[in-house]
Amino acid sequence: MEQEITWNNDGHSISLRLEKSLLVITGVYCPHLESESKPCHLTDDGCIVKWFLLVYGLECNVGVVDPSPEIGIAWSLVGNPNEGLNACQVWVIPTEDEFFSAWVVTQNTPY
């Protein structure tokens, strides 16, 4: 049975620079560095979102937005980080992606 991906829309962002036709990640902002709750700090490696993006780049990106110097992202983890980060996959999606934005609206429905 396949598990549904859960997106964490918690304030992560990436800084980008355009080099010829390539987008290069120049930084990853993690909003949890000073907080008690650190949902992205699941191992001693620190923020897994930052780790994955700096190791693998934008290969794990879904969604589409116009390039800009800074892009807010949501992230999802597939796998068990206790088995090693190389055995996992982190997916990122721009929070301004039209399909992600539409999905977020459905998640904030008050009951």
Q: What is the domain partition of the chain in residue ranges?
A: 13-107
Answer yes or no: is pLDDT of 11 > 70: yes
Q: What residue type is 71 in one-letter code?
A: I
Rounded CA separation 11/88 (Å): 21
What pLDDT score was predicted for residue 34? Answer: 74
Q: In the chain, count H helices and then E strands.
A: 2, 4
Predicted model pTM? 0.82
Kindly state the average pLDDT of the residues 27-45. Answer: 84
Residue with the bigger pLDDT between 85 and 108: it is: 85
User: Which of 23-27, 46-50, 52-56, 63-67 shows the lowest mean pLDDT across its residues?
Assistant: 63-67
Instruction: Label residue 1 by pLDDT band (50, 70, 90).
Output: very low
What pLDDT score was predicted for residue 95? Answer: 93
